[in-house]
Structure formats: C-alpha cells, structure tokens
Amino acid sequence: MTQPPPTLTVSRLEALLDAYGGDAACWPDAERASALALIERDPEARTLHAAALALDAKLALSALPDAVSARLRARVLEIPIKHAAKATVRSPRVGLMALFALVPCVLGFVTGNFWLDRSDNDEDAWGEMSEVASLSVAPTDLFDEEAP
Amino acid sequence: MSSLLASMTWPFAGPSIPRAGMAMSAPSETSPVDESEDDLGCVRRVGRGDQRAYRVLVDRYLGGITRFALRLLNDQGEAEEVAQETFLRLWTEAEHFEPRAQPKTWLYRIARNQCIDRLRKRRAHGQEQELSEEDAGEDRPSGLFARKQAAERVEQALAALPERQRAALTLVHYEGLSGAEACEVLDVSADALESLLARGRRSLREQLRELEAYRPE
C-alpha cells in the first residue's frame, strides 16, 4: 500500500512555483508528489500553476541555441596542444625539481669558498711561523754594535 | 635524516609522471574513452593528459558554459573568452581536481567567477552595458519577427536582473541544473537559492507584463 503524499499548503506551493516554475521535474524531489496532489484537488493551486507555466513559456522565448560555433569549438579543442608544455612548466613539482638541483650547487659554492678562505689563512699562518722560526735560528751577535 | 628524506615529496614520484612527459611529446590521445563515462572519470583522465576525455567534456559542457556566460555578460565575445578560459583551467588543473565537488558544477563555478570578475571590471570602468532598444517603437510586428522581438524583451528583462538572480535563473531554468547543483555553483544554501529564484521570477513577471498581449504561435 502506497503512502499518501504529505500535505502541502497553497502558500508553500506558490513559493515552489515562484522559485522553480511550473515544470514538476524542476521541483525538489521531497515535495513533488504532494505539490502535484495539491494542484489536482485545489482550484487556486491550479491557477497558480497555470500562471507559472505561462511565465515559463515566456522565458523559453529567449532560449539560446544549443549549437556552439565551430570556431569556438576548434579553439577550445586546441587548448591541450597549445598548453601542454606550459602546463607542465607551471607544475609545482617541476619547481621542486629545480630546487633539488639548485641546492647542491649553492652548497658547493658556499663550502668551496669557506675552504678556500681557510686554506688562505693556513698559508699566512705557515708563512708567519716559518719567519719566526728563521729568526729564532739566525746567528746573532749580541755584541755587534752595528746590529739594529 | 633518513626519516626526513622519507617524509619529503620526491618530485619524480606520484601521478604526474605521464603529464610531465607531455612536455616532450604530444598529449596522449591513445586511450579509448567511453562516451558514457561519468564526468569524474573523464576529469581524472584529463588530469593524466588524456585529450579524448577532454574532448568528451568539451562536447558535454562547452555549449552550456558559453550560454551561461552569455546570459551573465550579454557579450558573445566575452562569453567565448570565458568558455575558453574555463576549459583551459580544466586542462591545466584537472590533475589537482578534488572530487568534493562535481566536475559539472566545478566548471560552471569557474565560469561564474570569471564572469563576476569581468562584471566588476566593467563597473570599475563605468562600462555597464546598455541594452539595445533599437527595435522599440517600430511598427507592430507579427509572426517570426514578433517572436524575435518578444525574445529580445525577455533577454532585456533577464539582463536587468541582479547578477546572482540572473545566474540562478540561468542555471536552473535554461541549463537544467538541479537545485543542489545550482547551490554548489553559486555557493549558497537551498533556501537562499529558492529565494534568489523566486525574486528573479517575480521581477521578470513584473517586467514582462507588457508581453501579455502577445501569444506565441
């Protein structure tokens, strides 16, 4: 046994017709059956429904053609060909790959400079040490009056 | 260190490999696409660079997207630009599509956002389009011409509606989207959609009263 549809007020039907028009297919599923039942039994509801269908007919006058221009379709279908490489380049994954490649380069540059500085300092230190050493082993005459 | 490396996203891994390969070769057009395949399946294929799946979606939605944009912008050239941009976004962003939304409503939403941007720019530049009144005041027409004139009146009445009401009416009445789909495109609740539609239709009814005398043949 089928359940009778829940009752719907005329004002609610009016709101439905105002929003969705007279085509029952556009009405919310939950209210369709009760709205149709109300239209069937209530003359006021039938008048409102007829008015909604009349407005639908007027709106249908300005329905735009379904067909799309061949030119537009061709342009849209060209998009994958034109933008394949561009789409890939813009991918964030590619940016990440570039970052992965860049990091070793930067690290190499920085560490290289650091060790270069260190080796320069070492050379200076060796120079000073050898100078001191040469002074320390040089023969000196403490009684030489001409000595500085 | 090893756990850090493991937690990082390795750029060569993941589903983007076929797409990355597209930079060196033409986009894939080899995989067969069932014309009845659902939108989500098609979008996933497009995300992998499948040109045939892209074509299926173009055939399904290019007309609707273009008409929707035309209703909002009242400019054929701009509507076609919006349609192209929408399908460009489909091609470039399908890879990252989140199936929380339906592909159909995602496309309409992209188009709507572009239309809103263009309408804002127009307002900023004081270029709000004036509707043509060139046919008004001519001799009382009949037949096809009367129908054409009536259609123009309806278009004028539609164009005079606020953007959100116009978008709601276009989606539900002209493009046949369900209430739930229209809610997704417009990012509004079911009650808000109903209110937009009702206000739009009431406003149209007022504007179209002058058409009462005309009965389409």
pLDDT score recorded for residue B126? 74
A62/B155 CB distance under 8 A:
yes
Is the pLDDT score of A135 beyond 60? no
Task: Specify the residue for token string 């939403």.
Answer: B109
- Which range, A7-16, A80-89, B144-153, is most confident? A7-16
pLDDT in tens, B74-98: 899 999 999 999 999 999 999 989 8
Question: Which of the pair, A102 or B40, is modelled with greater confidence?
Answer: B40
Q: Given the cut 0.85, state whether the ipTM is greater than it.
A: no
Assess A125–B contact: CB distance below 8 Å, yes or no: no
Is the pLDDT score of A88 beyond 60? no
pLDDT band at B6 (very low <50, low <70, confident <90, very high): very low
pLDDT in tens, A34-79: 999 999 999 999 999 999 999 999 898 888 887 789 999 999 999 9
Is the pLDDT score of B42 beyond 60? yes
A19/B197 CB distance under 8 A:
yes
Is position A140 within any domain?
Answer: no
Q: Which of B11, B172, B174 has the CB atom closest to A63's CB atom?
A: B174
Residues of A in contact with B143 (CB under 8 A): none
pLDDT score recorded for residue B124? 83
Is position A83 within any domain?
Answer: no
| Domains of chain A: total | 2
Assess A77–B contact: CB distance below 8 Å, yes or no: yes
Assess A89–B contact: CB distance below 8 Å, yes or no: yes
Is the pLDDT score of A143 beyond 80? no
Question: Which of the pair, B81 or A124, is modelled with greater confidence?
Answer: B81
Crossing angle (nearest 10°) for helices B76-93 and B51-73: 150
pLDDT score recorded for residue B216? 53
Is the pLDDT score of B162 beyond 90? yes
What does residue B188 show for φ and ψ, rounded to 5 degrees? Answer: -135, 165
Question: Which of the pair, A139 or B157, is modelled with greater confidence?
Answer: B157
Q: Which CATH number fits domain B143-214: 3.90.198.10, 3.40.50.410, 1.10.10.10, 1.10.3720.10?
A: 1.10.10.10
A85/B23 CB distance under 8 A:
yes
Q: Where in chain B is the domain with CATH 1.10.10.10?
A: 143-214
Q: Of A39, A61, A83, which residue is a domain's last?
A: A61
CA angle A51, A57, A63 (to 5 degrees): 145
pLDDT score recorded for residue B134? 41
pLDDT band at B15 (very low <50, low <70, confident <90, very high): very low
Mutate which: B61, B62, B132, B189, vs A, most A CBs within 10 A: B62
pLDDT score recorded for residue B190? 92
Average pLDDT of the segment spanning B118-138: 63
Q: Where in chain B is the domain with CATH 1.10.1740.10?
A: 2-124
- Which range, A115-119, A133-137, B3-7, B184-188, is most confident? B184-188
* Average pLDDT value for chain A: 76
pLDDT band at B8 (very low <50, low <70, confident <90, very high): very low
pLDDT score recorded for residue A105? 67
- Asked if the B2-124 domain carries CATH number 3.90.1010.10, the reply is no
pLDDT band at B100 (very low <50, low <70, confident <90, very high): confident
> Domain range spanning residue A51?
10-61
Cα of first residue to Cα of last residue in chain A, in angstroms, is 130
pLDDT in tens, B168-205: 999 999 998 998 999 999 999 999 999 999 999 999 99
The pTM is what?
0.67
Q: What percent of chain A has pLDDT over 90?
A: 36
Average pLDDT of the segment spanning B45-49: 92
> Could you tell me if A16 and A57 lie in one domain?
yes
Q: Which of A15, A67, A83 has the CB atom closest to B88's CB atom?
A: A83
